[in-house]
Structure 1
Amino acid sequence: MISQNSLFGAEDAPIPAEFKGDLVAQAKAQAGSPLQREFARLLGVIEKTAAQVQELERLHGMYRAKFGQILPPLKAQQDDLSRQMVLFLHERLQRPDTGKTKSLTASNRKAIGRLIVSLSMDFAMQGDAKMRVIHDLYSNETIEEMDEAGLDGVMDMLDQMGMEMPEIVKKDGSKASAAEAAQAALRAIQEKMREQDEIEAQRKARRDEKRAAKAKADPKAQTKLAQKEQAAQDAQNALKNIYRQLARQLHPDRAENDTQRALNHDLMSEANTAYERQDLLALLKLQLKASQIDANAMSTVAEDKLKSWVALLRAQARDLEMESAQLQMQMVHEFRVPPRQVISAAAIEQSLQAAVQDYDEVLHMMRSDLELVKNDAELKRWAKDNSKDLERRDALRDDDLLDAMMGQMMSAQPRSNQKKKR
């Protein structure tokens, strides 16, 4: 057994040798009162959640790179095969039938034309000039007409918000396209929404000030508010005191040699980072590290100071849990992990392999289709089968376009910048 100053102030409390250097284990071993147990519990929660966030960030970075390396080439192959199919179908429809019997009926040609429109639309809207020409040849509505319709919808939104169409000045003096005008209008709407959010935030601040002023007139509310403010101030003072103790203890003048001076410098750098993050657990751990240099470094924590410490730890635990939840939601969406599945390397790897398998199956089918449609009889069957669900997909496409437009607007809204506390 090893004796050292008790974390909670009891002199010469016995600490198991395996706990030496483990702040959380020490706190749990020495906790006696409910407040001390809560302090120890929160230390454990923060340590566990911080480790979880760190692991999630590691997995996020690793698999973002891995997904980015593996999937885009497969998507490029899919796009290339889609373009090949568009070009083949276009060439086939431009080729006249030979002989007395028409190989492709008017119904066949209409179905194939609709498939050409469906396959070429995304490429055309992304700026592929060749696909745009082919698309417009078979579509009832050209890309420019679609852009103009989209612009009309955006202008309706401008009218509803009491805004005017922004002026677009191009460097070359040419007229802006409907798509460019729609983008400019969307940016104006986004800016207007940001302004409205700021105005609402200011109104809320004024309402809060009025409520606070009204509360001050109530003696009970005033006492409660004063206690809350004092508790917050006590918590900040406690954090500041630990930081100052570390700063004094790790001062270069207290080092006995260059090795100790370098170690002090590294510990102080960690202390600065922890203090900026309001990370109480990290500062306490640094005190424990520093105690290996100075036996008196680990100051005791009396019962009357634990309340302010617990308040800090609760806020830190809350922020970490929120950060972990947000990161998990992002990874579920980005890596296509089932929502109820625990985020892990195995789960993400399984999702990646499933995506690769899906691409492999689609690419195999597309290559087979390209060979199949070279025969007119097979082409007619293929066009009939694939056009059956085209109307449903077109309806979904319209919904997706609206969702994408609204998503683009919402993604431009400012987000609260959570301060990481670990």
Structure 2
Amino acid sequence: MIKITPPLDLFDDIHSAETNPAGDGVARLKVQKTAQGKLSPAQQRFNKLLTRVDNLGRQMQDIEQLAASVRGPHLAQISALERAIAQAQAQMLLFLHERLQRKGLSAAQQKSVRGLVQSLLLAAQPEMDEAQWTALHAQYFPPEVQEQQAQERQEAKQQVLDAVAEFLGRPLDLDGINNVDSPQELLKAMMRQMQADREAEQERQAARRAERPPKARQRKAEQHALDAKAALRAIYRQLASALHPDRETDPKERERKSALMSQANAANARGDLVTLLRLQLQAEQVDEAHIARMADEKLAALSLLLKEQVAVLEHEVAEAEMRLSGELGVMVNATMKEAVLTVHLQRLQQEMAHTAEGMQQDLERVRDDAELKRWLREQAALARQQEREEDMLMRFGEFY
């Protein structure tokens, strides 16, 4: 996805206190009301879309600044906590393994301990000696266990395939996903495949529509699109003519125009109308009244460009929110204040610190056999509760 956020240096240059005391990012581009009457619908729509582009551009800047401010310290803290948890898991794993070598546990308790060791092996691997981990893995995952797990994965995979086939009303094409074993990865692969199927169907529908004689409404929409491209091209050509650095003899002015021309080229390539209009103002090709004098047909063409710009920016903002949420481990949105996000991050850090502390307390506790047996019962109860909650979530999803 191409970025279309206005360049910061241009933004700051155009909207300095001297040229724009109100600080509104698009104030000089908007159509202003006159004493003669109200704005036309085309003028109102143009102004509304300008404001939306400006707000989304600011949101992109805000989320990037937010990320720069909190990412480093938070990720360093989370990394340290993750390592503390992994170390505690490795210590618990080794203790439980050693305890299995001694008598005093019932068959059910031994089975429970083996299950816990198996679940801890993958989590604790980064904090263990490679040879030691390999030996333990071979002991707790012998060929018969691995075969059973492979069978369970295959059954889970088939359940997902059956559910998707029922949803689609047809068997799913398995090309490219036969070797995926994890149900989660399988689901992701199938979602990608379903998305590709949808896109292919949309392309087929578009091709069929293209073969039909265009209706009046379609011809009008196509004409508007052509008008929009022509309007963008005309603005760019005017700028290119005024800003071409080769026509300047003064070195400083040539350098300034070269920078502006570079911005104009980039804005034109990505269809960024707002930046081109701002550059026109900066180059004094037009004044604030210029847009107000445009015919509604011309404004409608510019509004179509703004609408496309809004769609791209909305996608970029949503993408940035999802990316930062994944990095930080908490939900983030572009309008979130740093103080609010900091509270959420501190809460996550506290939860992880509490987990690490609890694991250390468990390690001390299970060294006593009576406490170990009580702890095993508690772990079994927690596992059953988690299983019930997951089952309820699945049923809830089926209901909806």
What TM-score comes out, normalization by structure 2 length? 0.73
Counterpart pick for 1:94 among 98, 101, 114:
101
Could you tell me how far apart the structure 2 residues matched to 1:382 and 1:328 are?
40
Aligned to 2:121: 120
197-206 or 244-253, which moves further after superposition? 197-206
Query: What percent of counterpart residues are identical?
Result: 29
Once the two structures are TM-superposed, the CA of residue 51 in structure 1 deviates from its matched residue by 0.9
1:9-36: CA deviations, max 9, x gaps?
xxxxxxx975699772234473442233
Aligned to 1:56: 63
> 1:129 and 2:134 equivalent?
yes
> 1:303 and 2:294 equivalent?
yes
1:265-309: CA deviations, max 9, x gaps?
000011111111111110111112222xxxx56593432222211
> 1:147 and 2:150 equivalent?
yes
Once the two structures are TM-superposed, the CA of residue 63 in structure 1 deviates from its matched residue by 4.1
Once the two structures are TM-superposed, the CA of residue 40 in structure 1 deviates from its matched residue by 2.8
Aligned to 1:24: 26
Aligned to 2:397: none
Amino acid at match of 2:32: Q
Aligned to 2:208: 210
Could you tell me how far apart the structure 1 residues matched to 2:25 and 2:88 are?
60
Structure 2 residue matching 1:95: 3-state secondary structure: coil
Once the two structures are TM-superposed, the CA of residue 142 in structure 1 deviates from its matched residue by 1.9
Could you tell me how far apart the structure 1 residues matched to 2:242 and 2:203 are?
42
Once the two structures are TM-superposed, the CA of residue 236 in structure 1 deviates from its matched residue by 0.8
Inter-CA distance 282–341: structure 2 relative to 1 (3 Å threshold): closer
Alignment gaps of 5+ in structure 1: 1-15, 97-102, 168-180, 401-422
Structure 2 residue matching 1:26: 3-state secondary structure: coil
* Contact preservation (8 Å) 1:271, 1:283: yes
206-215 or 69-78, which moves further after superposition? 206-215
* Contact preservation (8 Å) 2:153, 2:182: no
* Contact preservation (8 Å) 2:317, 2:334: no
Aligned to 1:318: 311
Q: How do 1:274-313 and structure 2 match up within 5 A?
A: 274-291=267-284, 296=285, 298=287, 300-301=290-291, 302-304=293-295, 305-313=298-306
> 1:82 and 2:89 equivalent?
yes
* Contact preservation (8 Å) 1:337, 1:347: no
* Contact preservation (8 Å) 2:59, 2:317: yes
Q: How do 1:213-228 and structure 2 match up within 5 A?
A: 213-216=211-214, 221=215, 223-228=216-221
Inter-CA distance 371–141: structure 2 relative to 1 (3 Å threshold): farther
> 1:383 and 2:349 equivalent?
no
* Contact preservation (8 Å) 2:100, 2:110: yes
Amino acid at match of 1:52: Q
Amino acid at match of 1:274: A
Counterpart pick for 2:366 among 360, 373, 377:
373
Structure 1 residue matching 2:27: 3-state secondary structure: helix
Inter-CA distance 20–193: structure 2 relative to 1 (3 Å threshold): closer
Aligned to 2:233: 240
Once the two structures are TM-superposed, the CA of residue 315 in structure 1 deviates from its matched residue by 2.3
Amino acid at match of 2:149: M
Larger Rg: 1
Could you tell me how far apart the structure 2 residues matched to 1:161 and 1:254 are?
62
Inter-CA distance 386–23: structure 2 relative to 1 (3 Å threshold): closer
Amino acid at match of 2:54: E
Give the count of matched residue pairs. Answer: 355
Once the two structures are TM-superposed, the CA of residue 88 in structure 1 deviates from its matched residue by 0.8
Structure 1 residue matching 2:336: 3-state secondary structure: coil
* Contact preservation (8 Å) 1:39, 1:306: yes
1:204-250: CA deviations, max 9, x gaps?
3343343344453xxxx2x3222211111111111111111111101
Could you tell me how far apart the structure 1 residues matched to 2:185 and 2:380 are?
37
1:162-198: CA deviations, max 9, x gaps?
658999xxxxxxxxxxxxx545999999889867765
* Contact preservation (8 Å) 1:373, 1:382: yes
What TM-score comes out, normalization by structure 1 length? 0.69
Once the two structures are TM-superposed, the CA of residue 366 in structure 1 deviates from its matched residue by 1.3
Could you tell me how far apart the structure 2 residues matched to 1:165 and 1:314 are?
37
> 1:250 and 2:243 equivalent?
yes
Once the two structures are TM-superposed, the CA of residue 135 in structure 1 deviates from its matched residue by 3.3
Amino acid at match of 2:145: T
- How big is the alpha-carbon RMSD for the aligned residues of Structure 1 and Structure 2? 4.2
Alignment gaps of 5+ in structure 2: 1-17, 166-170, 394-400
1:92-142: CA deviations, max 9, x gaps?
22124xxxxxx54445444434433443365579995244245338xx972
* Contact preservation (8 Å) 1:23, 1:288: no
Could you tell me how far apart the structure 2 residues matched to 1:226 and 1:29 are?
29
Could you tell me how far apart the structure 2 residues matched to 1:306 and 1:280 are?
12
Once the two structures are TM-superposed, the CA of residue 60 in structure 1 deviates from its matched residue by 3.5
Once the two structures are TM-superposed, the CA of residue 339 in structure 1 deviates from its matched residue by 7.7
Once the two structures are TM-superposed, the CA of residue 49 in structure 1 deviates from its matched residue by 1.4
